[in-house]
């Protein structure tokens, strides 16, 4: 596998078993993602794109085929090793934010660090730095109920970055946001990619997908397109995300 390849997928399939009923969701996928890429996985509802993201993010396992992450065969990892990969290698941004309602923005961001050896002072310093980076240094002690949708998603982005992951997964990150807030989120993701972060964005919207540099199109559990974005949407300051 080439040195700069982060993810390599070979003949990946996914099936779910319920009693005697087998539901096949993904059918023989093959692709690679290099370090530092910004890739959209785009497809309609029910296409299998979220299932694929869950497998790539170590939240689910494949049925057959192979998944290599930094050269490691993921299918050979045990539950503890998978949990370690989830904690240290990937960060997640979800459409529903997934924040703890009774915890402050800062507490939400540093939550993943409680499972590390990092001291309290280091945790607080890192959390504050990341919230400042997403423009929320004035909201450290606000709970999610005191934040707008866009602010909640920026807290979620800061949390996704707290363990300095190799890849950031963003699952419909603008789905619950207005145009202005959605634009701010895409601007942050593009800036992070400029800084060298690998971003994998899952979306059903063509316009949102075109903020990436490459689009993997998935339909009925199969990849039907894998193309560079020729006319990329650039989230500039002052503009808004048009849906």
pLDDT tens, the chain, 243 aa long: 556 999 999 999 999 999 999 999 999 999 999 999 999 999 999 999 999 999 999 999 999 999 999 999 998 899 899 988 988 899 999 888 899 999 999 999 999 888 888 899 999 999 999 999 999 999 999 999 999 999 999 999 999 999 989 999 999 998 888 889 899 999 999 999 999 999 999 999 999 999 999 999 999 999 999 999 998 998 876 444 444
Single pTM value for the model: 0.90
* CATH class (in words) of the domain with range 36-66+79-228: alpha beta
CB contact at 8 A, 91 and 170: no
Q: Are strands 167-171 and 5-18 parallel, antiparallel or unpaired?
A: unpaired
């Amino acid at each position: 596998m080439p040195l700069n390849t982060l993810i390599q997928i070979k003949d990946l399939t996914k099936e779910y078993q319920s009693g005697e009923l087998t539901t096949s969701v993904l059918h023989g996928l093959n692709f690679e993602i290099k370090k530092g890429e910004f890739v959209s996985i785009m497809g309609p509802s029910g296409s299998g794109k979220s299932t694929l993201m869950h497998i790539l993010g170590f939240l689910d396992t494949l049925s057959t085929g192979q998944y290599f992450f930094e050269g490691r065969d993921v299918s050979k990892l045990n539950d503890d090793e998978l949990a370690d990969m989830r904690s240290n290698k990937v960060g997640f941004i979800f459409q529903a934010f997934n924040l703890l309602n009774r915890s402050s923005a800062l507490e939400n961001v540093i939550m993943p660090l409680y499972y590390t050896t990092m001291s309290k002072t280091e945790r607080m310093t890192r959390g504050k730095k990341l919230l400042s980076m997403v423009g929320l240094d004035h909201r450290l002690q606000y709970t999610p109920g005191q934040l707008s949708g866009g602010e909640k998603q920026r807290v979620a982005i800061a949390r996704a970055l707290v363990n300095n992951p190799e890849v950031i997964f963003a699952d419909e990150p603008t789905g619950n946001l207005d145009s202005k807030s959605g634009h701010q989120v895409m601007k942050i993701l593009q800036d992070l990619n400029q800084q060298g972060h690998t971003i994998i964005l899952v979306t059903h919207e063509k316009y949102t997908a075109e903020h990436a540099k490459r689009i993997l199109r998935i339909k009925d559990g199969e990849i039907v397109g894998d193309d560079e974005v020729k006319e990329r949407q650039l989230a500039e300051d002052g503009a808004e995300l048009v849906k």
